[in-house]
Amino acid sequence: MIYIKTKKEIDLIRESCKIVAETLQLLKANVKPGTTTFELDKIAEDYILSNNAKAAFKGYSQGGSFSFPGSICTSVDDAVVHGIPGHRVLNNGEIISLDVGVFKNKYYGDAAITVPVGNINAEKQKLLDVTEKALYIGIEEAKENNRLNDISGSIQEYVETNGFSVVRELCGHGVGKYLHEDPSVPNFGKKGTGVKLRKGMTLAIEPMVNFGKSKVHTGDDGWTVLTADGSPSAHFEHTILISNGKPEILTVV
């Protein structure tokens, strides 16, 4: 079921999204060689709680999996998404995806960024640049009366033109009343197809882009999704609102 949000609901979603955006900026400032993913998780949880909100991912379960133990997802290098924070020490030259979800006043916000740890090589920097640009290209298509796969196809086209591959097993989603709602928002597809986009829809658009092949698998911890070929992966995400004209990005400071 696709939920069309009221103005009141959108205002509440916007509040959760603001905390998400602020948390991501705080995390970005604390990513450096020698930091552990657990330390980043603690920084995020403390900030979210200080805003009278909850970390949406903590305790989350899907498809019979055990509850996610972290407040955020910390996915390093060949980890695509859903990395569990722990004693992993960040090293110079790596990249880390930071995925944050916030629950406040019964509504959710969700976003992610991938950032360098210290100095990274040109190939990884291009991966980050292309993935982030793909997100904004997809967002541009999130207009009333466009089709869902106008978003998906635009992301796929840009990523593949630049020599990278989109992950097909995972996708974006509706968000707001629940952390994951209909519709699913894949990062590949045929433009002009899919459900018609309507004013009041809130979507989490999130390209996940691999340097190598598109195939992924779930690691031994039951959560972390890894590239099958061991190549690095990047992930960027915004929660957006479909309105009369240009889509509004809600997960901004």
CB 112 within 8 A of CB 105: no
Residues 6+ apart with CB under 8 A from 156: 166, 187, 188, 189
Residue ranges of domains in the chain? 7-249
Check residue 63 and give its pLDDT. 73
Check residue 180 and give its pLDDT. 97
* DSSP notation for 26-63: HHHHH--TT-BHHHHHHHHHHHHHHTT-EETTTT---T
Structure tokens at 11: 């205002």
Check residue 184 and give its pLDDT. 98
| CA end-to-end span of the chain | 30
Rounded to the nearest angstrom, the gap between the alpha carbon of residue 189 and the centroid of all alpha carbons in its chain is 19
Per DSSP, 202 falls in state E
CB 206 within 8 A of CB 101: no
Spatial distance between the Cα atoms of 89 and 35, rounded to a whole number of angstroms: 6
Own/partner pairs, 119-127, CB within 8 angstroms, 24+ separation? 119/92, 119/93, 120/93, 120/94, 120/95, 121/93, 123/211, 124/93, 124/95, 124/211, 124/232, 126/162, 127/95, 127/164, 127/209, 127/211, 127/232, 127/233, 127/234
Tell me the pLDDT tens digit for each residue of 132-160. 999 999 999 999 999 999 999 999 999 99
Check residue 33 and give its pLDDT. 98
Structure tokens at 171: 């996708």
Which residue ranges in the chain fall short of pLDDT 50? none
Residue 25 CA: distances (Å) to CA of 28, 161, 237: 5, 30, 14
Nearest to 212 by CA among 139, 159, 146, 141: 159
CB 166 within 8 A of CB 185: no
Categorise residue 220: left if φ over 0, alpha if ψ from -120 to 50, beta otherwise: alpha
Check residue 64 and give its pLDDT. 72
State which CATH number among 3.90.230.10, 1.10.274.30, 3.40.50.1100, 3.40.190.10 fits the domain covering 7-249. Answer: 3.90.230.10
Structure tokens at 208: 């996940």
Check residue 251 and give its pLDDT. 98
CB 240 within 8 A of CB 142: yes
